Structure 1
Amino acid sequence: MSGGNKMVTVWLITVAVVLVASVGITVTEAQPEANFKCLTENATCRSLTDYTSTNSTTLKEIATLFGVKHFLDLLGANNLPSNTNNSYKVNPNQVIKVPFPCKCSNRTGTSNHVPRYKIVPGDTLDAIARVRFAGLVKYQQIQTANKIPDANNITAGATIWIPLPCSCDLVDGTSVMHYAHIVPMGSSIQSIAQQYAISQQTLLSLNDLDDPKNLLAGQLLDVPLPVCNSSIKSDSLDFPLLVPNATYFYTAHECVKCKCDSTGDNKNLQCEASNLKPINNWSVCPSLKCSGSVLLGNTTSTDSCSRRVCDYTGYTSSRNISTTLATQNTCAVAPSGSGDSGSGASRSMLNGWVLNKLLILIHFLILFVYLLSYNSQHLCSFSFFLSMD
């Protein structure tokens, strides 16, 4: 290859490397710190967060990392069969929804003193936040929550609290489960709203986004998941029982299994006896019936738009589970806020930027291959043309 060819080759490779690097920097650009609004002081509830690992892992390892007390909660949140083994393999970058308890304080929601992480030699707060917990929190949040004077000086063997963002607030006057959703590359406010049957305006307002184009890949978004209607009483130990669509939850010391399947006409929580051995201090599950032979979950009558069912209403610490014969509406109802045809959220700003850079890079690479196919004489002609231009 001639000296001229070599110079052009070096120049093109340099440009390509710079473009690739700039794309990489954008993809890993620091995302804004996630702080979910929670205006009800001292409120507690169940929340969800996305989690992805760059390496292969198992459900057991994820449950241990996040301090999930009951393995069935993790299965239910991901709608996995209840007999799934804890050695179930989770592939790199596979999204797993992790349930955790949330508590509101000072108008912000954080996980209720879980997860607890034990520092190992070589750890830094930044690595714990970015790598171990996949960027769900920033190291500054961990530092503040644990009152660590110097972020660069942490002690191996010490246990720290990882304050995950969450909320217990009603949204548009309705109970929801707040879900810390990691925005995928190429996603948009519009597609997320459609996927989870909520309004675009609700998403924008809840996350203080003025413009849907400001959504960034990797950003942690507060997504309020609609939950099934239930008959749970306010004095029940599991109130409010928030079960989003396509999930299930074991309650009343795992004596009762409740699932939400609102893909059909029924938007009501469907509860039945779990047939499991109870946990904690209960030796056996109490009777789960409304009357006579009518058991929990049995339907006694139906008509065109309703049904009469033995429904779960809660439990107390005195080994008591209550039920009632309830009338449930079974007619189809349009998902709240699923329209918003006028809001027109576009693709994320980050995704568009990356695509532009990739297109430029592709053009340069095509030009690079094209030039390499020419001999020195063609290269000279091309250089002369560029100088004339």
Structure 2
Amino acid sequence: MEKQRLSVESGIADYIDWLAQFGASADGGVTRLLYTKEWMDAQLAVKAEMSAFGLDARFDDVGNVFGRLQGTQSPDEVILAGSHIDTVINGGKYDGSYGVLAAMLALKQLKETYGAPKKTLEAVSLCEEEGSRFPMTYWGSGNMMGALSLKHAEVPRDGSGVSLQEAMHDNGFGRGVYPSAHRTDINAFIEIHIEQGQTLEMSGRDLGVVTSIVGQRRYLITLEGECNHAGTTSMKWRKDPLAASSRMIHELLLRAEEQPDELRLTCGKMTVEPNVANVIPGRVQFSIDIRHQNQRVLEHFYEEMTAVINGICGEKGIRAMIDEYMRIEPVPMDETLSAKALETAAENGISCEEMVSGAGHDAQMIGRSCPACMLFVPSRGGISHSPKEFTSARQLEIGVRTLANLLYKLAY
């Protein structure tokens, strides 16, 4: 199928629809997994469009794409803006893509209006953030910042048994053909994104300036009790791990609501064995996901969680195992960059508010090593990772305009 072509007057909403063609599903969603044909076609299209905008476009060795606008006075001081190109399975067309396209259009507008900047500006389409194909997140930004490297591609495999390294090599990356992904010249990173929540929609404001991105911890709780007959085993003699898990989850949810600044707790996955209607379960596993922007709150709640689980298990004679399988630390955004973003919005009459991001983003990875700023535009209904994801053209354009004005402050 021939891809839609864009006119020179195309705006951000047109570009969103254009990029959504790569990996489009019948119900309006997008599936664009790392190193698939759909992903590669999209990255090549983005690279070609960057060149058409007059930017110096190139790949790096993991597949990130950069469009460069060279600075005239401090060319080695790079201000980077962008987001990621990959999606979840049957996700929305805005997540990640908006930040990539907004950065490209902002640089195009700045170049056409003001010419070359004093400091170098770059738009980036990061190759991966979601972890949808391989059990690895932030592959693009992690390699860029030196937190990950090509050696980390050897072990992870997708559901078909293909390794991350094999998939990368199949697309021509990871072989030294392109420059190394590791960068040491980035002075600041700006990421604009749809909110993926309802804060801005409920407040009626057009822009969010993120103060920090929450830390995440994920645990797999395994409870081993005693499998037995449902009709002949007295309630008082049972060692029922499913009943115990219900008590634990209820108690932890209540305690999460009492934490400062709304700690968020989710139990999203559970397996029960033998999973038969007339048999008391003998083994249960369930996940716990906790998120908060304060490291001390996360540490304290882990201690509470452990006490609740061990207390109930001790009372019921059940064995408990707590396995932490994800730990991402909270990352504050740069106060100076955030202040400039707020100032830019105020100067242009754009209503905004400061807020915390409850979802992880590339700015979280990059913000560990260099100043980072994150901006949100509203999401209708707070829906994301879904074909129903939507942000109006007006709100998308406000975001692009704010990003361009902020980059002007920083680079011109």
TM-score (norm 2): 0.22
TM-score (norm 1): 0.23
From the CA coordinates, give the structure whose radius of gyration is larger. Answer: 1
Which gives a bigger RCO, structure 1 or 2 (Cα 8 Å, sep 6+)? 2
Judging by fraction of residues, say which structure has more helix.
Answer: 2
